[in-house]
Structure 1
């Protein structure tokens, strides 16, 4: 029997040629492989859109060969999905989860209601205030009814908790795309990705220099460079769409010393303008809202760096004075 261990970025790491009961699973599960019911194959979970985990693959292949299997290993890192395709697939799967969790929640709610009604039906057959008559021929049935009522109520509560749990999972799945594309979160993601891209570019320059002028390339660095460039462009398009819909992307150009910046419900005077943030009096000065000036800093001069993705508004010193004057006359 020939076992094929195949990795591509588009499909992840999968095993082909194995059948239930052939002993392959028992061998490879010790090396990171699991059975994935959604596709009916053995593979490494969360290996799509990632570089091959060669230490797992090589260890599994060696163990299979030792057990008498013929094993072929194929790794094709160039076969990959675009980031847009991968993200669309993630959104589609989230929608599928939301639909599935909705069904789970409905079923649990129905079981809870059914158990509740059953318990009340049993209780309705017992006269109000009727005690258990010890020694009477009705004692056994009365005790059995108490147990049935208790079991029904416990089942109803348990199923109600399950319904709440699955409803929560449903809401999370439904909000996946909105969560991913939230502008402020997306800005932070872009910054991290740009830092990753700079590190990759630095490593590529170092490898080229070590090659003494020869075209020295590392395949994984080249692919990672392409992936990061693609992903950054995707999220920048998300921000551009958000800006069309009224979202403001703040930057150094929007502020000067003495302006006021809003964080949450509090306005802070800008002490210094930096490339990626503004320096303000420490946020503990602003508990409860209002306006915090430089002179209001009561924490031994402590300051706070407020990054531009955390900014919710700006006022010049003149605009702030006018707003405060208007609020006192109202």
Structure 2
């Protein structure tokens, strides 16, 4: 029987010409460490042949394939080996194919999760229906004619409940797989991760160029007099150039959506850099990072200065981990509102396009760590206790509301107001996930009380300007109290 082992970067490594029970499976499914044949071949129903996993878009090992062919020949097969390294896809084509396959996996895993959840619910209902005959606590009557049936029902209930639990765990497993597959493209195109990937690819490209010039790179030499090696270096150079250009375009798209690519030119000694939610004093500016006080000093602190630290060591923050920058003068200014952390997050993340949520969907509105009054604001419960809130309607939505900023661990004598706008606009702003952080949230009320006594205006530092722009809202800084309805007799 004649077999053919073919490899191209476009299709990967395929073994064609086999048939069921011809003896080839035993060879293809046995590892041979001496030749490097450690990734076992798999059968593809779609292709109708054996293939080596993870062999697409990669250079193969000719000695490994030749050794595999020799072991097949020893079993009585006629084997030919064909290798074409020039037949390949562009990186953009390969990446698009991977994204589409991830989308297909997400859809398939979602169906698996739904089916498992349905089976779990069905098994639970079956167990619940059997238990109805014992809902009053009827015990098993030993020696009674009903004993056998009662014990059988208990076993059926136990089996059905265990089946329900097992299927529920399966549903959770497939739901997690669906989530991972659905987030493949976002994970691959994460700006910080992409910047690190570009640095790694540039380093590999420099090594390839040195080998092409006959120089040493990465502690190795390549014999450029060998035509195969010279061809492989040329192909690898093309692949790296395409891949770097692709990821650079991804970064340009992220920058167009508000992402900031930090570099050495953005910092000087004495500035403050934000990383992992903490501000650090910049001790030194490096080509690829900034040197800051040791990260152990950030425990329980939002700002780590250059002096007065318990740990005297230093650490570096790569520029792809930076989420904000302030000068020393800006750090000395008194805080206007506790929304500074959101400003850098908005710069680093593209705008989130979501349907306009209601105020009740504020991410922080359900936390028990917030004062009860703030939780009532976030839920839209603005009327005094004992009085109903206004009826929802078009006219009520266009009434005026005051947007406030609330802090988790700080209680102030007067509420702090940022803007005045309609109730509809206030609901959209406070419901946007970009208007809340670890220690603050935006809420709104229609009855703030008396200006100066119950609340006061605070400066707007512009950190939420992207949110207002996306929602098409122009806030006001003047408040006119709405006339109160007369009290019921």
Structure 2 length normalisation: TM-score?
0.64
> Is the CA contact 1:204–1:217 (under 8 Å) kept in the aligned structure 2?
no
User: Relative to structure 1, is the Cα distance of residues 201 and 3 closer, same or farther in structure 2, using a 3 angstrom cutoff?
Assistant: same
* 1-structure distance, mates of 2:2, 2:242: 37
Please name the residue that 1:23 is paired with: 23
- Which structure is higher in RCO with an 8 Å CA cutoff and minimum separation 6? 1
Greater CA drift, 43-52 or 26-35? 26-35
Q: Among 52, 56, 74, which residue is 2:64 paired with?
A: 56
Structure 2: give runs of 5+ residues left out of the alignment.
31-36, 339-409, 413-457, 459-489
Please name the residue that 2:93 is paired with: 85
* 1-structure distance, mates of 2:50, 2:277: 52
**For 1:195-234, what aligned pairs fall within 5 Å after superposition?**
195-206=203-214, 218-234=230-246
Please name the residue that 2:317 is paired with: 306
- CA offsets per residue over residues 27-48 of structure 1, 9 Å max, x none? 2222432223443320111000
* 2-structure distance, mates of 1:231, 1:274: 27
> Is the CA contact 1:132–1:143 (under 8 Å) kept in the aligned structure 2?
yes
1:288 maps to 2:307: no
> Is the CA contact 1:25–1:42 (under 8 Å) kept in the aligned structure 2?
no
> Is the CA contact 1:269–1:293 (under 8 Å) kept in the aligned structure 2?
yes
1:105 maps to 2:113: yes
Query: In structure 2, the residue corresponding to 1:223 is in which secondary structure?
Result: helix
* 2-structure distance, mates of 1:147, 1:293: 66
- CA offsets per residue over residues 86-118 of structure 1, 9 Å max, x none? 000000000010011011001100000000000
- CA offsets per residue over residues 163-208 of structure 1, 9 Å max, x none? 0110010011111000100100100111111111111112221269
1:319 maps to 2:330: yes
Give how far 1:325 is off.
8.0
1:192 maps to 2:200: yes
Query: In structure 2, the residue corresponding to 1:294 is in which secondary structure?
Result: coil
1:268 maps to 2:280: yes
Query: In structure 2, the residue corresponding to 1:206 is in which secondary structure?
Result: coil
* 1-structure distance, mates of 2:258, 2:282: 24
1:250 maps to 2:262: yes
User: Relative to structure 1, is the Cα distance of residues 70 and 211 closer, same or farther in structure 2, using a 3 angstrom cutoff?
Assistant: closer
Please name the residue that 1:74 is paired with: 82
Please name the residue that 1:10 is paired with: 10
* 1-structure distance, mates of 2:224, 2:145: 100
Q: Among 91, 101, 104, which residue is 1:96 paired with?
A: 104
User: Relative to structure 1, is the Cα distance of residues 281 and 324 closer, same or farther in structure 2, using a 3 angstrom cutoff?
Assistant: farther
Give how far 1:49 is off.
0.5
User: Relative to structure 1, is the Cα distance of residues 169 and 211 closer, same or farther in structure 2, using a 3 angstrom cutoff?
Assistant: closer
- CA offsets per residue over residues 278-311 of structure 1, 9 Å max, x none? 0000111112341111103321x20011000000
Structure 1 length normalisation: TM-score?
0.94
Whichever of the two has the greater Rg, that structure is 2
Query: In structure 2, the residue corresponding to 1:192 is in which secondary structure?
Result: helix
Structure 1: give runs of 5+ residues left out of the alignment.
none
User: Relative to structure 1, is the Cα distance of residues 211 and 145 closer, same or farther in structure 2, using a 3 angstrom cutoff?
Assistant: closer
Give how far 1:324 is off.
4.6
Name the one with the larger helix percent: 1
* 1-structure distance, mates of 2:222, 2:42: 40
User: Relative to structure 1, is the Cα distance of residues 128 and 225 closer, same or farther in structure 2, using a 3 angstrom cutoff?
Assistant: same
Equivalent pairs counted in the alignment come to 329
User: Relative to structure 1, is the Cα distance of residues 38 and 145 closer, same or farther in structure 2, using a 3 angstrom cutoff?
Assistant: same
